[in-house]
A = this chain, B = another copy of it.
């Protein structure tokens, strides 16, 4: 249950009320927001002393609350990614986020960045902390990778999207990134989620490949209830019995997210497919669904990439894809940015 209270609610009565409810408190300029478990469907005696300060209450069928479309009356949240870039809301735009799987070295990221800037790309993605499943693979450049990404921002003006692997380096990622990407393997990581709830950066949560849509939205609730309203969700493929492709992109799930949540939705066809031949078709499919953004892997020399070699586009492949999606976006009344 969500309760809105007037900004002038007396502090100690507010605190006492929150404690009686076991509620999480979010302080916003225009109001106080208290959130309890959705099991609570109404207020009874707990409101004693604050009745006059309560503006509105919202009851829910499950713990999809701050992220629920019913909470915002059908309105979609618009999320600022940087001073000059935002995603979602009613803008009818689709944002292209692209870049290599990982920062490998200064030359590689510079080459990718220069090309993508020339192509008008506004958001650069690349990993510095790689959540590999084996300790014996390339693990990413870590802090050095973050610094290289910051240089690309300074040089080309990108919003930087980069992944946090676990709570040990979440502060560093928050410091250097514009958009903190919580990867598919970290979706349940409360050390990361709670810290991001206190950050002033946008947070992009990738659905765990073994996670339900409901759990993905509840991961967003950790960040939203921490006070950070800038959350974007990303569908990137779930794990199924099919093994001809790396994962199974769940576009039914995207339709559900669009129907039931108020958060911008991004689709990552590269990780879902696992092979570059399918990325263009799936990208166009996502654009035709009217998603708010795309996350696509592009690498100067994919075959030499240190990770995800099979699925990254080369420059020609990206350019061809980018050229083709404009018409699809127009066909559904949207603009590619």
Contact = CB atoms under 8 A, between A and B. Distances in A.
Interface of A: 24, 35-38, 63, 65, 131, 133-137, 165-169, 185-186, 188-192, 208-215, 218-219, 221-222, 225, 237-256, 258-259, 272-273, 277-278, 281-282, 284-290, 324, 327-328, 330-332
Contact of A331 (B186, B242, B327): B327
A208 B258 CA distance: 27
A285 B285 CA distance: 4
Contact of A191 (B135, B167, B188, B254): B167
27 contacts: A36-B136, A37-B134, A133-B219, A134-B218, A135-B225, A166-B167, A166-B189, A167-B191, A185-B189, A189-B189, A210-B239, A212-B243, A212-B244, A238-B240, A238-B241, A238-B242, A238-B248, A247-B252, A249-B252, A255-B273, A255-B278, A255-B282, A256-B278, A259-B278, A282-B289, A284-B289, A324-B332
What are the 4 closest A-B residue pairs judged by CB atoms, nearest first? A210-B210, A255-B278, A166-B191, A288-B288
A191 B172 CA distance: 14
B136 A63 contact: yes
Given A131-B190, A136-B35, A255-B273, A328 B210 contact: no
Contacts of A165: 190-191
A260 to B, nearest CB: 8
B190 A188 contact: no
A204 B290 CA distance: 30
Which of A35, A185, A247, A327 has the most chain B CB within a 10 Å cutoff? A185
B210 A209 contact: yes
A136 B285 contact: no
A267 B284 CA distance: 15
Contacts of A185: 188-189
